Structure 1
Amino acid sequence: MITELRPTEFPWMDPSRYTFSLGVQGGGALWLAGETGASYGPDGATLPAGIGDQARVAWDKIQAVLGVADSDTSACTEIVEYVTTAGLGELADIARARPGAAGPGSIMVIESLVRPEPQVEVEVVAGGPSGQVRLPQILPVDEEGGVVARGDLVAQAAYVLDRAGQLLADHGLDHSHIVRIVQQTTPETRREYRSTEDARRRLLGPLFPASTGVLVPALPVDGALVALDVWASEHPKRVINPGWSAFDDLTFSPAVRAGDILYISGTTAWDPDTNTTVAPGEIAAQARFVYEQIEAICQAAGGSIGDVVKTIEYVAPAGFDGYRSVAGLRRELLDRPFPAATGVVVSGLLGRQWLIEVEAVAVLA
């Protein structure tokens, strides 16, 4: 059962105005929306000037939501900090704002947040599904702190996947247990990206995980061309495919189910039936197609779109001006309670005509 986490008092904004939940509980975890340091009221938005202070306000909001479930930030098992390029030099201040929260942390450098004034957004999961292992973010950095294979995306992509296998071995798992990956690369490496599939095919097949790939303006370490986040599960995994044969030749699956959790790949305006992009230049039409694809995936897994507990919407710069229209689609297409949600503007998506990519997690009965 999925329940909404809505504090009795939440002075920073009115949650009822939005098409996402501040948090939802389900599948043994608390899934929270991304939070910034901004407050919204009748007179507009207010925001602390310093990025460290922005992060501290975000953590105050997170604690307020976790408190609905009698939890707190010490229960956090996943932390993602979305940081604008303007805030990239302030990572130490952001780290100091963390209230002793546990669990692996990841950084994604972005062009902006969907409300462009804040410089950092913090997204967390507290608790976690049974049998799930979330690795710390993996960068192409050796034990001495040096970047490996500078300038070589293919070699760095293979390195981080190999490193994932080493870290999983500490949990008694291996590459075959991976259920979800998120891979960040830069726009300059877009042409080379297809060449990274050899390592994925060698290490992750034949039951490929769900996968999301986005282009970002920078990586957290200078000289890195890729960052990898990995989720694995002790449960047997089952590939979920509504019948799209185009995935037979790809190194990721539409979704993977492990236990009660459905990990849904980043879904875009690519139509697997026609191998074309739907509605070039129209983010509202692309978003409708994306959420209909997510619904088809949920149904193929024996559930419905009402089982979705969390979405992350990655928006290309060309789609930003029309992004507000997506809220109306969410209101139309998603069940209540709305999933927790985060939205960020990245440098681009792997398909040049794609304006939005949505990854999702669902909890199935």
Structure 2
Amino acid sequence: MDPDKFPWLDLRRYTFSMAAEQAGIVFLSGQTAAAYYHDEAKVLCKGDLIEQTNLIYEKLAVVLEAAGLGFQHVVQTVDYVDAVALPQYRQTAEVRRKYFGDSPVASTGICVERLLRPDALIEISAVAMREEKRRIDPSPQQDSGLTFAPGVEAGGIVWVSGVIGREERDGRAHYPQNSGDQAALAYAAIGPVLQAAGARASDVVKNLDYISPLAVLGYGDAAQARRGFYDGSSPACDCVVVNRLLRPEGHLEVETVAVKGSSRQDVRLPQWRFREDEPGSLADSPAAAIKGRLLCLSGQEAINHATGASVGGFDVAAQAEQAYSNISQVLAEAGYSMADVVNTVEWVAPNGLMGYRGVQEVRRKHFGEDFPAATGVVAHRMFRPELLIHVSAMAVV
């Protein structure tokens, strides 16, 4: 779903769509302020964070218009922010107010190691839905002045904003310095949002943990808190190590998506093996969770799950081939194919950037010319040091 006119870039050069729609759900690719400047004959991201954010929202407006939608249809945004831009980040709220007004949107903002374009300060992805949306807020009487809602529901799908676990002490926010305690508090905050939407933990189809480097060693405690919250109904899961969270005291931020009604189908491949004691292990999670229109996959890396061995050496394209092959296997097990994928997020390790352009050919191999929406950003590291890329994917079926 590409606009007929997109004055900033030649869209034919890329292996992703500006947006992809299926069953009334539209995923918009991550946008930066990248634009081709004829006088300099190159693509650049110019300006400070506010100028770049304004240009990104101009681009998103064009993509939404091409889909016959507007910002009143957007249910979720994710801001990927370069650390050097953090001092200005609060000021981007005014840009959001200009475009969203009073229209509620779920949102997460995290600090990445860097963006793929070295001159980009922020990248923003979005999801829109054609159904009418409503704000989900378990404490509506509290006017926080924030430019996002705790959650948004449209068409029975509940998009919950990222949550960092905290507690109030003497009227001030306190962040425990134990990853398990923070995670437990995050889930304690997510639960009421789901309940206010008429959903529960077993309705969650995707759980994404953005992890601070502070929490890598203690992530096992956070994973235990996750298992306790879902109580045997763990959804598809992702865990990604970022540069830091917007709150410097934060160990992890949890983002969830739930689908009301119907029953959830979990996809597991019996030939796949996981080590429960390995950091970042998703042994308790299904390879994918299907509920309603959404098919959410757990994050995939260059691991041969039949043996547990990493694949691809130090070649990021070869590693991407294994990750996408894993995704294809999961979809086939569920009775679907890569043609059903509407969105991918590729997290690249810093030492995988040099060969990252080669991943374009991997995407062409698996998607043909029918590309999904996509976002690519740089992670702080992977849990296994030899891994260079982590792929998160979502399908609509």
Do both share a fold (TM > 0.5)?
yes
Aligned residue in 2 for 1:194: 220
1:156 to 147, 159, 182: 182
**1:31-90 CA distances to partner (integer Å, 9 max, x unpaired)?**
110001120256002333111110110111111111112111221100101001011111
Task: Work out whether residues 165 and 175 of structure 2, in 8 Å CA contact, stay in contact via their aligned partners in 1.
Answer: yes
Q: 1:154 to 1:301 in 2, by over 3 A?
A: same
Relative contact order (C-alpha < 8 Å, sep 6+): which is higher?
1
Aligned equivalent of 1:62? 60
Secondary structure of 2:217's partner?
helix
1:260 aligns with 2:293: yes
SS of the equivalent of 2:298 reads: strand
1:37: which partner in 2? 33
Work out the CA distance in 1 between the residues paired with 2:183 and 2:302.
25
CA deviations 1:248-282 (Å, max 9, x no partner) are 95232211011121101111112221112112322
Contact 2:303 2:322 in 1 (8 A): no
In structure 2, how many angstroms separate the alpha carbons of the residues matched to 1:229 and 1:14? 33
Unaligned regions of 5+ residues in structure 2, if any? 131-153, 277-282
Counterpart in the other structure of 2:121: 119
Distance 1:15 1:345, change over 3 A: same
Q: Which amino acid aligns with 2:104?
A: A
Q: 1:305 to 1:63 in 2, by over 3 A?
A: same
Deviation string for 1:288-340 (max 9, x for gaps)? 00001111111111110111000000011111111111011111221332000
Aligned residues: 359
Residue equivalent to 1:47:
45
Task: For 1:271 and 1:89, locate their aligned partners in 2 and report how far apart those are by CA, in whole Å.
Answer: 42
| Distance verdict in 2 for CA 1:354–1:145, change over 3 Å | farther
Further displaced range: 97-106 or 305-314 = 97-106
For 1:227, the equivalent position in structure 2 comes to 253
Match of 2:205 among 169, 179, 201: 179
- Specify which of 243, 256, 273 is matched with residue 246 of structure 1: 273
Task: Give the RMSD, CA atoms, in angstroms.
Answer: 1.7
Give the corresponding residue for 1:304.
Answer: 337
Q: Distance in 2 between matches of 1:247 and 1:256?
A: 17
2:229 to 203, 206, 212: 203
On the 8 A contact 1:52/1:96 being kept in 2, the answer is no
Matches of 1:293 and 1:19 in 2, distance apart?
19
> In 2, Cα distance between the equivalents of 1:288 and 1:178?
29
Partner of 2:313: 280
Aligned partner of 1:236 in structure 2 is: 263
Q: Equivalent pairs: percent with the same residue?
A: 29
2:180 corresponds to 1:135: no
8 A contact 1:27–1:261 mirrored in 2: no
Matched-pair contact (CA < 8 Å) for 2:297–2:394: yes
Q: Which amino acid aligns with 1:29?
A: I
Work out whether residues 197 and 251 of structure 1, in 8 Å CA contact, stay in contact via their aligned partners in 2: no
Query: C-alpha separation between the residues in 2 aligned to 1:137 and 1:172?
Result: 19
List runs of 5+ in structure 1 lacking aligned partners. Answer: none
TM-score by length of 1: 0.94
Structure 2 CA distance for aligned equivalents of residues 189 and 280 of structure 1: 27
Q: Distance in 2 between the 1:301 and 1:147 partners? A: 43
Which amino acid in structure 1 is aligned with residue 120 of structure 2? P
- State the 1:236 CA deviation: 1.7
SS of equivalent to 2:354: helix
Matched residues in 1 for 2:231 and 2:308: separation? 22
Where does residue 70 of structure 2 map in the other structure? 72
Question: CA offsets, 1:113-147, max 9 Å, x none?
Answer: 11121100110011177321011211123355513
Match of 2:363 among 320, 324, 330: 330
